[in-house]
Amino acid sequence: MIELKDITKVYKTKNGELTAVQDVNLTINKGEIFGIIGYSGAGKSTLIRLLNGLEKPTSGTVNVNGQQISSISGSKLRLARQKISMIFQHFNLLWSRTVAENIAFPLEIAGVAKSERAKKVKELIDLVGLSGRENAYPSQLSGGQKQRVGIARALANNPEVLLCDEATSALDPETTDSILELLLDINKRLGLSIVLITHEMHVIQKICHRVAVMEAGRIVETGEVLRVFQNPQAEITKNFVMQVSGTKETKVSIEQVLANYPTGKIVKLTFIGNKTEQPIISQLIKQFDVEVNIVHGNISQTANGPYGTLIVQIDGENSNVVQALNLLKSNEIQTEVIEHA
């Protein structure tokens, strides 16, 4: 569906060359929701603009739906872009047009007949949950409603790929969740591929199937969201995972436990899927005669199932503690002994 091969993008500035994207190789499958996460300046916005030809790579190829976007231009590029839609952080609506007129705009440009436009606009308004707001202007809408208009407009030409450029960054948490639920519903109903860039791991956790982590123009880690959450490799990925697992806020608690129980081991447990429902702690206590003190616990839902973290202090005879840790590992629960916070 989407393939980026050996992509590098260099900008020439008055201070010299600036490499925004470097040596990126990436494949995004048909029908999946793929997240690209990174802090400001990581290169993710440049990367997404390469997907629809708004930017051309300095080297490498971009292939979308069988079209080599990196090498076509003019009418061929315009035709290809009809199947690659985009929604933006600040909505980019036409303020002098109503909701219905904003959604109809790309259909007008494509030369669709008026009666057919009206039918399509009604379908899209119903799809994004804006029935009754057809004649409202953007200034009369909430942020979430504006983004729903942007999504409906992006779907007008029946795209096969939907690009989301920080589409929820300007929204409050509750509205963000409602927009993410809408994107998930659209993905399931229409089967289109969604590429979503963000700096918030919550967004990745909520709806993405796979994720790529960007830093300094490079992709430093990629994989299924659950697996990346369970076993992040790059330091930046670990920081992002801590955003949603809550473990960043447990440092003081860990220090206190280590001070009060210096003979025990502080262990971080990471588990996914049905492992989150197992009574593993009570099993440890009963089977190995150890004391278990819970420092922090959190279970989050992802598009592929639940992901949980649990930080515990395990104390007892050393041989019993070792056996307890071995049991955890044999149950495919990732364990990490924390020597200090």
Every domain of the chain with CATH number 3.30.70.260 lies at: 246-338
- Closest CA relative to residue 197, chosen from 300, 87, 83, 307: 87
Q: Does the pLDDT of residue 127 top 90, yes or no?
A: yes
User: Which overall architecture, per CATH, does domain 246-338 show?
Assistant: 2-Layer Sandwich (3.30)
Pick 221 or 226 by higher pLDDT: 221
Every domain of the chain with CATH number 3.40.50.300 lies at: 2-242
- Average the pLDDT over 110-125 and give the result: 94
Q: Are strands 33-37 and 218-224 parallel, antiparallel or unpaired?
A: unpaired
**106-110, 183-187, 267-271: which has the minimum mean pLDDT?**
267-271
**CA end-to-end distance (rounded Å), the chain:** 44
User: Are residues 106 and 153 in contact, defined by beta-carbon separation less than 8 angstroms?
Assistant: yes
Structure tokens at 294: 């819970």
How many Cα atoms are found within 13 Å in the side-chain-facing hemisphere of 285?
A: 10
* Burial annotation 106-120 (CB, 10 A radius, 16+ → b, else e): bbeeeebeeeebeeb
Q: Which fold has domain 2-242?
A: Rossmann fold (3.40.50)
**C-alpha to C-alpha distance for 20 and 30, rounded to whole angstroms:** 26
The pLDDT tens digits for 274-319 are 766 677 788 888 888 888 888 778 777 777 778 788 888 888 888 8
Share of the chain above pLDDT 70, in %: 93
| Residues 6 or more apart in contact with residue 289 via CB below 8 angstroms | 316, 317, 320
pLDDT value, residue 339: 63
pLDDT value, residue 254: 62
Phi, psi dihedrals of residue 278, rounded to the nearest 5°: -80, 140
The pLDDT tens digits for 203-213 are 998 999 999 99
Structure tokens at 29: 């499958």
**C-alpha to C-alpha distance for 21 and 212, rounded to whole angstroms:** 13
Grade residue 341 by pLDDT with cuts at 50, 70 and 90. Answer: very low
The pLDDT tens digits for 327-337 are 888 877 888 88
pLDDT value, residue 302: 79
Q: Does the pLDDT of residue 250 top 70, yes or no?
A: no
Grade residue 185 by pLDDT with cuts at 50, 70 and 90. Answer: very high
